[in-house]
Amino acid sequence: MADGLVRAVGADGTVRALAAVTTDLVDEARRRHGTAPTATAALGRALTGALLLGATIKRDERLGLEISADGPLRGLLADATPAGDVRGFVYEPRAHPPPRGGKLDVGGAVGRGTLCVTRVPLAGGSLYRSVVPLVSGEIAEDLASYLVGSEQVPSALALGVFVEPDGRVGGAGGYLLQTLPGATLAMGELLVRAVARAPQASELVRSGLEPAAMLSLLLAAVPHAVIGEQDVRFRCRCSPARVARAVVAMGRAEIQDILAKERRVDAQCEFCAARYHLDERSLRDLLAELTNGS
């Protein structure tokens, strides 16, 4: 089943619902970063959560999630755009505490700390930033608490990643249900009951349900209509040109010092683990550009 995200509205526009399948992109993140199973589950939840929240913001913004905590994972970052591009990493990719209750202990791996949510205008301008305490470290509960407390939008959010015994991602996805202004108390209670009855998000994906079918199951008692579908993917914004610009920003003296010592620059992107190499000739070309442009 291909990765994808679906948006729907229901109950005369007073309910917003989104669902996503993210199995392939989470497994790509696992391969890129070499994550242990618990770190894979934590990163996959964050990537999926970022995509779901990112699909609710303006088209000219991107959304960032940053968790800083005291668990063995130390924290993570995820970054998504409304177009469905997402990237991210964990600080300690090999973090893998013992299971708890027969399940991967994501909350124990994350620990206590804070969640920072940012919305960054793509064309420049003031960014929105909110920092809240973590509720459980399980990520879905933390994001739902943020939505209720900071955005004042009652929300039910489920995120799931099933990791196979060999470490591969066997199923990943999630959903977000929200009541909007005008929704009745009864509608909110109906959604709570629907979520309580539903299987875990990763089980919905592993059973073969696509995003639209997931919403049909969750909103079986709510008249609704799909208003958008899109592909989602792990995609980073790094490039050789960005690395070159970063080197230029170091300044002439720093580049000259590198040429006198290492005579090369090796860089690795934190978000996607891509490696870049600038040899001596490339560095001298950049230095020449700086000199000619001064």
In this predicted structure, the answer to whether residue 276 has a pLDDT above a threshold of 60 is yes
Task: Single out the residue in 183, 203, 234 at which a domain terminates.
Answer: 234
pLDDT of residue 291: 80
pLDDT of residue 293: 63
pLDDT in tens, 182-191: 999 999 999 9
CB 26 within 8 A of CB 44: yes
Q: 173 and 38, same structural domain?
A: yes
- Stretch among 76-90, 198-212, 258-272 having the lowest mean pLDDT: 258-272
Q: 195 and 83, same structural domain?
A: yes
Q: 84 and 206, same structural domain?
A: yes
In this predicted structure, the answer to whether residue 125 has a pLDDT above a threshold of 80 is no
CATH of the domain at 279: 3.90.1280.10
Reading the block at residue 98, the tokens are: 């013992």
Mean pLDDT (the chain, rounded): 94
Q: Which residue has the higher pLDDT, 272 or 82?
A: 272
pLDDT in tens, 229-256: 999 999 999 999 999 999 999 988 898 8
Q: 174 and 273, same structural domain?
A: no
pLDDT of residue 172: 98
Range of the domain at 244: 240-293
**∠ Cα 155 158 164 (to 5°):** 170
Q: 247 and 168, same structural domain?
A: no
Cβ-based neighbour number of residue 164 at 10 Å: 11
Task: Single out the residue in 199, 215, 234 at which a domain terminates.
Answer: 234
- pTM higher than 0.85: yes
In this predicted structure, the answer to whether residue 119 has a pLDDT above a threshold of 80 is yes
Task: Single out the residue in 234, 256, 273 at which a domain terminates.
Answer: 234
Q: 115 and 150, same structural domain?
A: yes
Q: 145 and 193, same structural domain?
A: yes
**∠ Cα 92 94 99 (to 5°):** 110
pLDDT of residue 294: 54
**∠ Cα 41 145 55 (to 5°):** 70
Report, as an integer, the average pLDDT of 94-121: 96
pLDDT of residue 124: 74
Q: In what order do the strands lie in the sheet with 85-90?
A: 128-133, 113-121, 61-69, 75-80, 85-90, 233-234
In this predicted structure, the answer to whether residue 122 has a pLDDT above a threshold of 90 is no
Q: 95 and 37, same structural domain?
A: yes
